Structure 1
């Protein structure tokens, strides 16, 4: 900021900036043009001491000339006065001027100190203003940071809430999906079981390479007093891997799966087999030794596993009855009329009826 520093003694113009010099002797002010000093010299060459000792042209021209007695043109003579002009006449006056000059120098130092003190005070005021602005800016920034922290905390809370909701939705969705899968598996199993409604399974019949399964089935029906001809049989085949293909000893024969044309005929065979429980292969044209055979409903893989597990668990817990009817599995503890009949549809029913550790559902 420009300030009025006085009038230039050379051009008599106002000095409006700090680029000026004060004469060491007359204490008059001169701008750089009248002082014949460039800005580069003013800022780069002139130090503080040089500026304080600077003298204007007028004061320099008033100084007496120096002694030139040692010049080669003139030799030293006794009649030569070493002090020329007014300096020779006013030597005593010069001594008085020296003491006055010292007093002037003391006054100059005081003025310079006061000037520097005033400049320092102005700089301190400007610095105080800047510090006030800086403090205000810091306060505003702090307020904005606190507001940002509050917003971040609110956003974090909302994100956590959304994550919890998504987790709950996923959990509920997973449970619903698992329940749907179990229901679909149960429905598919029931449909597969319905497709086996005309099938039955005859087990523990000796197996021979040249056997006639249709003749064996009709012979078994005759033994059970059921009227059945070859035309009543849709198919008769053994299921499972043969002992010869498995490369093991023929100790267990594959069951015979029979499909008849009517479900009523199948049910009649099952009832007769239950009535004549303990019937053997004697009299049906099979070689000795004669053995007991069994006729049961044909079950799906899932129902076979459930029926086998139910029989094992029921036997270990003293349940007397575990049976199948129309492809459905039932269990009852005893014959007492208060003992309820339980339907077994899946693993959950096994756990509920026979509390124990059940094999993994992957085995179903």
Structure 2
């Protein structure tokens, strides 16, 4: 890319170009102070190299100094041309200085913006540090413990919600190569519930294998809909004492129980609640949709237990009342 031969030295464009007819130099029209390029135009460098014509007839201003008469037309033309070139160079320098000023202003604004943001962030950090210093350590620890306990309860509730279509059947003897789905259908028929195999998503024993003399493992069942699950639980409460007679299992009939399937946390909580109810002679403890409830008698209100820490609080407050 060709640059301007004048003082600006900037790259040339396709428009606004003045090309010398005596050398390959090109100029911006603004740099040589021209609107239109005349035919046969020569650049200032070529004009300076052109031999001067005979000036013997030019009047001498002072013979001793040998100075040229500036009042001649040729000298005035050269001076005017030099002034135009200087004016063009000064204009280019002025434009460059203005561009530098604009860039410096933009850079200053950018730096001021970053400085204000950094100052705001530092102020927020300082306020947080002051708040942490003012807050006692014990309060912070207790708040953290309360937050962790609340998160554990929330996670347990979410895990329990995933088991809303499940039931747990206990007490049915376990034999090799048993058909768990068929056993669930037998239990439903025994309880008077119309349940088909297509209503069962899966049915399987859970837990490690046990010896024959130990209690059989529970049978976990997931149903496709909550309606049959509710009917099974309702029928199990009505027909308490149902056993495995007519199931075709070896040995004497055994009583079986149908309950909601609980998470390990809620199962432990329900066990501790039953133990406490026995100790304090509370009559009622039950689960509903995976939630654990206790009640002292028919006239008292039901209380929900969300975690093990609720046990002393619930039973102590009820004893005081």
Same fold (TM over 0.5): yes
CA–CA distance in structure 2, aligned partners of residues 262 and 204 of structure 1: 24
Q: Secondary structure at the match of 1:235?
A: strand
| Larger RCO, structures 1/2 (Cα 8 Å, 6+ apart) | 2
The offset of 1:276, in angstroms, is 0.2
Q: Within the alignment, does 1:193 sit opposite 2:160 as a pair?
A: yes
CA deviation map 1:111-140 (0-9, x unaligned):
xxxxxxxxxxxxxxxxxxxxxxxxxxxxxx
CA–CA distance in structure 1, aligned partners of residues 241 and 167 of structure 2: 18
Larger Rg: 1
CA–CA distance in structure 1, aligned partners of residues 267 and 244 of structure 2: 25
Correspondence 1:40-79 to 2 at 5 A = none
CA–CA distance in structure 2, aligned partners of residues 325 and 343 of structure 1: 10
Structure 1 counterpart of 2:250, from 265, 283, 287: 287
Q: Secondary structure at the match of 1:243?
A: coil
C-alpha contact (below 8 Å) 1:197/1:263 kept by paired residues:
yes
The offset of 1:178, in angstroms, is 1.0
**Corresponding residue number in structure 2 for 1:346:** 307
Q: Within the alignment, does 1:173 sit opposite 2:173 as a pair?
A: no
| Structure 1 segments unaligned to the other structure (5+ residues) | 1-161, 357-364
Q: Secondary structure at the match of 1:241?
A: coil
| Structure 2 segments unaligned to the other structure (5+ residues) | 1-128
Structure 1 counterpart of 2:292, from 319, 323, 329: 329
Q: Within the alignment, does 1:252 sit opposite 2:215 as a pair?
A: yes
C-alpha contact (below 8 Å) 1:223/1:284 kept by paired residues:
no
Q: Secondary structure at the match of 1:258?
A: strand
Q: Within the alignment, does 1:307 sit opposite 2:270 as a pair?
A: yes
The offset of 1:283, in angstroms, is 1.6
CA–CA distance in structure 2, aligned partners of residues 317 and 172 of structure 1: 34
The offset of 1:241, in angstroms, is 0.9
CA–CA distance in structure 1, aligned partners of residues 223 and 174 of structure 2: 21
Correspondence 1:86-165 to 2 at 5 A = none
The offset of 1:316, in angstroms, is 1.2
C-alpha contact (below 8 Å) 1:310/1:322 kept by paired residues:
yes
**Corresponding residue number in structure 2 for 1:231:** 198
Q: Secondary structure at the match of 1:353?
A: helix
The offset of 1:349, in angstroms, is 1.4
User: Which stretch of the first structure deviates more once superposed, 165-174 or 327-336?
Assistant: 165-174
The offset of 1:231, in angstroms, is 0.4
CA RMSD of aligned residues (A): 2.1
**Corresponding residue number in structure 2 for 1:263:** 226
The offset of 1:355, in angstroms, is 4.1
CA–CA distance in structure 1, aligned partners of residues 166 and 146 of structure 2: 31
CA deviation map 1:248-285 (0-9, x unaligned):
x6321100000000011101100000000010001222
CA–CA distance in structure 1, aligned partners of residues 188 and 152 of structure 2: 35
The offset of 1:168, in angstroms, is 4.3
CA deviation map 1:148-201 (0-9, x unaligned):
xxxxxxxxxxxxxx99x8484322221111111111101100000000000000
Q: Secondary structure at the match of 1:173?
A: helix
CA–CA distance in structure 2, aligned partners of residues 354 and 167 of structure 1: 37
Q: Secondary structure at the match of 2:215?
A: coil
CA–CA distance in structure 2, aligned partners of residues 317 and 167 of structure 1: 45
- TM-score, normalising length: structure 2: 0.56
